[in-house]
Amino acid sequence: MAKAPGSHTVIGMEGTYGVREFVADARRIMEVPGGAADREAAVRELEPLLQAALWGPGWTDDEYATTVDGRPGYRYYVNDDGSLHVYGVLFRHDRPTPVHDHVTWGIIGVQSGEQRTTRYLRRDDGSTPGRCSVELSADGVLTRGATYPLLPPHDIHRIEVVSPGEGLSIHVLGADLKRQRRRIFHVDAGTCEEVEGVTMAR
Ligand SMILES: [Fe+2]
């Protein structure tokens, strides 16, 4: 399968710039006055840093290990209002997420595993409740070092680990999804449903 358009991969060597350095930089960019002014600027500044950090240390350190809805994962950083949230989800082989959105800016990075990543553009204006028209924009298998931005309303995606075992997906988001009202999309039917407080990991 071809590399997904709109995703970026830095083929790196193991480096010293890892999760700690990335979180420090993300906080510097997002949490200080005069930092990133809008969500596009945030993504532009943070994405190359995440690409570099994915080749560095720390992502599976015990100190970050946590359990989310009974599934193991990692929490690297979240601030009080959830406006900067950096965490890792272990998706399992053959357990794809539904097609869903986040309703916030974000960058997703692949730290391990082969992750088939499908993305969609929103094509309707949302004026009819329950109707959601989406169009496939990218479909490819991403590996370590790959990143892609998610900017609403085009933050609709699906992740499926196609290699054996688990794949660690790094999420850098502008909200705590547990507090976020968002959607699951039924692409062929052209419908969507609102959900809240649920995880997309299966
Ligand atoms: Fe997601």
Q: How far is the CA of 85 from the centre of ligand 1 (A)?
A: 13
**Measured between alpha carbons, how far is 22 from 24 in angstroms, rounded to an integer?**
5
**Measured between alpha carbons, how far is 129 from 202 in angstroms, rounded to an integer?**
26
pLDDT value, residue 81: 87
Q: How far is the CA of 159 from the centre of ligand 1 (A)?
A: 8
pLDDT value, residue 82: 87
The answer on pLDDT for 11 being more than 70 is no
104-147 residue pLDDT tens? 999 999 999 999 999 999 999 999 999 999 999 999 999 999 99
Q: How far is the CA of 107 from the centre of ligand 1 (A)?
A: 10
The answer on pLDDT for 10 being more than 70 is no
Q: How far is the CA of 157 from the centre of ligand 1 (A)?
A: 6
Angle, helices 19-31/39-53, rounded to nearest 10 degrees: 170
Q: How far is the CA of 38 from the centre of ligand 1 (A)?
A: 21
pLDDT value, residue 47: 97
DSSP 87: E
**Measured between alpha carbons, how far is 70 from 21 in angstroms, rounded to an integer?**
29
Q: How far is the CA of 200 from the centre of ligand 1 (A)?
A: 7
Q: How far is the CA of 45 from the centre of ligand 1 (A)?
A: 20
With beta carbons less than 8 A apart as the criterion, state whether 151 and 39 touch: yes
pLDDT value, residue 133: 96
The answer on pLDDT for 13 being more than 80 is no
| Range of lowest pLDDT (60-64, 89-93, 168-172, 175-179) | 175-179
pLDDT value, residue 38: 83
**Measured between alpha carbons, how far is 145 from 166 in angstroms, rounded to an integer?**
16
Q: How far is the CA of 156 from the centre of ligand 1 (A)?
A: 8
**Measured between alpha carbons, how far is 25 from 31 in angstroms, rounded to an integer?**
10
The answer on pLDDT for 4 being more than 70 is no
**Entry pTM:** 0.91
Q: How far is the CA of 70 from the centre of ligand 1 (A)?
A: 18
The answer on pLDDT for 8 being more than 90 is no
Q: How far apart are the first and last CA of the chain?
A: 24
Q: How far is the CA of 168 from the centre of ligand 1 (A)?
A: 13
**Measured between alpha carbons, how far is 134 from 188 in angstroms, rounded to an integer?**
9
Antiparallel, parallel or unpaired: β 146-150 and 181-186: unpaired
